[in-house]
């Protein structure tokens, strides 16, 4: 069974989708073994605790330089230590708002994935997260949006695409209604499918070595 860490910062709806997928058997090759949150008050922390998943709080404000600015290197090392201590083989970003550093990226090549609420490369990159993505899509007047699951690299939302699914934008949509439809029709389907696929691949690779 491939051990999976889910990294969160907010409500944890995609974390819940993965928990539900594990319970239903959609996710059968992996086990959610750790949740790392950048915020102690994130609702995702409560979701993890209610489902008996170990939680690690890693707030950037606790990793600072002598002049009290954020120290990304120390934060990255703390992240890597937590992942290694828990035997993690796949890292899933599910609304995680901190950047993944070079050491973690190097330790998990093509084993870190992210779900983004648009059809990348549209409405991706710096500043596009949460409702901001849907606000931009509606302002542009697109007829179709959707979600993307992709590998994470040093770029922002620029890694190799794994899965995409289109979702219609409807007349009268608000950012909130569009967000909900994309979650239900795309994110909560694509993310568990991608995690299962990669967990299965990792299990096969480790069996062969």
Contact 15, 44 (CB under 8 A): yes
DSSP 82-116: HHHHTT--EEEESS--SPP-HHHHHHSTT-EEEEE
Beta strands in the chain (DSSP E): 2-8, 30-37, 55-57, 90-93, 112-116, 144-151, 161-168
- Do 6 and 88 form a contact (C-beta atoms < 8 A)? no
- Among 68, 116, 134, 150, the active-site one is 116
The residue with tokens 């949740």 is: 35
134 carries an active-site annotation:
no
Provide the annotated active-site residues: 116
């Amino acid at each position: 069974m491939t051990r999976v860490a889910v990294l969160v910062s907010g409500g944890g709806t995609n974390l819940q989708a993965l928990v539900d997928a594990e319970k239903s058997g959609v996710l059968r090759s992996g086990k959610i073994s750790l949740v790392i949150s950048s915020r102690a008050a994130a609702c995702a922390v409560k979701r993890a605790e209610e489902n008996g998943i170990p939680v690690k709080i890693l707030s950037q404000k606790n990793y600072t330089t002598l002049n009290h600015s954020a120290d990304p290197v120390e934060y990255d090392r703390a992240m890597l230590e937590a992942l290694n201590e828990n035997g993690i083989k796949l890292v899933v970003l599910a609304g995680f708002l901190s950047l993944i550093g070079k050491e973690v990226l190097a330790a998990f090549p093509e084993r870190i994935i992210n779900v983004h609420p648009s059809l990348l490369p549209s409405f991706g990159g710096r500043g596009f997260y949460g409702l901001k993505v849907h606000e931009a899509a509606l302002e542009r007047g697109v007829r179709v949006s959707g979600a993307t699951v992709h590998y994470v690299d040093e770029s922002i939302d620029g890694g190799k695409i794994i899965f995409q699914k289109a979702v219609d934008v409807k007349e009268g949509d608000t950012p909130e209604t569009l967000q909900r439809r994309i979650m239900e029709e795309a994110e909560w389907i694509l993310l568990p499918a991608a995690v299962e696929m990669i967990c299965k691949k990792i299990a096969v690779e480790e069996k062969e070595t």
